């Protein structure tokens, strides 16, 4: 872009911090002010090597969490970029429920710090967690697909017509434990199983809470022939519940 044109654009369309709405300098690389940027916490060890749960107070190395030792995980590992806390929570909320997609270019920049444990060269297909057709129409976009595109721009491995949400489900936030699993029973289906045979899949979603949704997707994908399912989310809650 020409410098003059860029300067003009900054004047006409000033940028604001996605979280606190403070005005930002000209053409910022990230739409976060320095204060909010400092408060974003990238996920790092020690964590659970399976579900990616972070041990905020524990010293020492990675080790499996209680939930992964006692429940069947159909994915081999789940990783996230950030802890799901303020100020990111607010940004995710604006994105999901108000359709504010101006966060996506910043997420593309952050994706340079994708967790190394996700070996992208080994991934055959990138599958966003699908929405039911009805929810998709209401919202107008699937946030998991937009995130997958933001993390992996122009990546031909992103595929949306393979895993579908075959029946509408109530939001998982209203349930806990077993009720979460019951809510998702038979909610997902694979429509082109032959494309999955022997494939390594990376599932993408916005937030990892208990992992029930991605676990159910992984179960369905593996039943249809996938050899391995890994999970990547933008954020992850700090406590299992
Ligand atoms: Zn800010
Ligand atoms: Zn775990």
* DSSP state at residue 131: P
- At 81 the three-state DSSP class reads strand
Kindly state the tokens that stand for 195: 């494309």
Cα 232 to ligand 1 centre (Å): 25
What are the distances in angstroms from CA 185 to CA 4, 166, 193, 217? 56, 10, 19, 10
Ligand nearest to the CA of 210: 2
pLDDT of residue 197: 95
Residue 78 and residue 118: Cα distance in Å, rounded?
Answer: 8
Q: Which helix (H) or strand (E) holds 106?
A: helix 104-110
Cα 232 to ligand 2 centre (Å): 14
- In terms of phi and psi (left: phi > 0; alpha: psi -120 to 50; beta: otherwise), the region of 83 is beta
pLDDT of residue 101: 95
What are the backbone angles phi and psi of residue 217, rounded to the nearest 5°? Answer: -60, -45
What is the pLDDT tens value at each position of the chain, 241 positions in all?
Answer: 677 776 777 667 778 999 999 998 877 889 999 999 999 999 989 999 999 999 988 677 999 999 999 999 999 999 999 999 999 999 999 999 999 999 999 999 999 888 878 889 999 999 999 999 999 999 999 999 999 999 999 999 999 989 999 888 777 777 777 888 787 788 899 998 999 999 999 999 999 998 999 999 999 999 999 999 999 999 999 874 4
What are the distances in angstroms from CA 141 to CA 98, 121, 172, 220? 11, 28, 19, 23
Cα 62 to ligand 2 centre (Å): 10
Contact 79, 117 (CB under 8 A): yes
Contact 207, 233 (CB under 8 A): yes
pLDDT of residue 241: 41
Q: Where are the domains of the chain?
A: 32-236
Contact 230, 76 (CB under 8 A): yes
Kindly state the tokens that stand for 184: 């998702």
Ligand nearest to the CA of 64: 2
Cα 178 to ligand 2 centre (Å): 17
CATH number of 32-236: 3.40.50
Kindly state the tokens that stand for 153: 């721009």
């Amino acid at each position: 872009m020409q410098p003059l044109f860029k300067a003009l654009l900054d004047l006409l369309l000033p940028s604001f911090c996605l979280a606190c709405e403070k005005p930002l300098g000209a053409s910022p690389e990230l739409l976060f002010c320095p204060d909010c940027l400092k408060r974003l916490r990238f996920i790092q060890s020690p964590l659970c090597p399976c579900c990616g749960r972070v041990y905020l107070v524990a010293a020492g190395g990675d080790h499996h969490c209680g939930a992964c030792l006692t429940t069947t995980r159909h994915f081999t590992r789940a990783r996230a970029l950030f802890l799901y806390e303020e100020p990111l929570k607010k940004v995710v909320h604006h994105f999901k429920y108000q359709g504010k997609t101006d966060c996506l270019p910043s997420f593309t920049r952050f994706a340079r710090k994708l967790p190394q444990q996700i070996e992208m060269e080994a991934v055959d297909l990138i599958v966003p967690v699908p929405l039911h057709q009805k929810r998709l129409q209401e919202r107008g976009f699937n946030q998991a697909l937009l995130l997958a595109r933001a993390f992996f721009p122009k990546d031909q491995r992103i595929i949306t017509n393979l895993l579908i949400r075959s029946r509408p489900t109530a939001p998982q936030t209203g349930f806990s434990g077993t009720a979460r699993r019951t809510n998702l029973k038979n909610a997902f289906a694979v429509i082109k199983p032959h494309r999955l045979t022997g494939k390594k899949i990376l599932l993408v979603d916005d937030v990892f809470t208990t992992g029930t949704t991605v676990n159910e997707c992984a179960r369905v994908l593996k039943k249809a022939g996938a050899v391995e399912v890994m999970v990547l989310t933008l954020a992850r809650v700090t406590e299992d519940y």
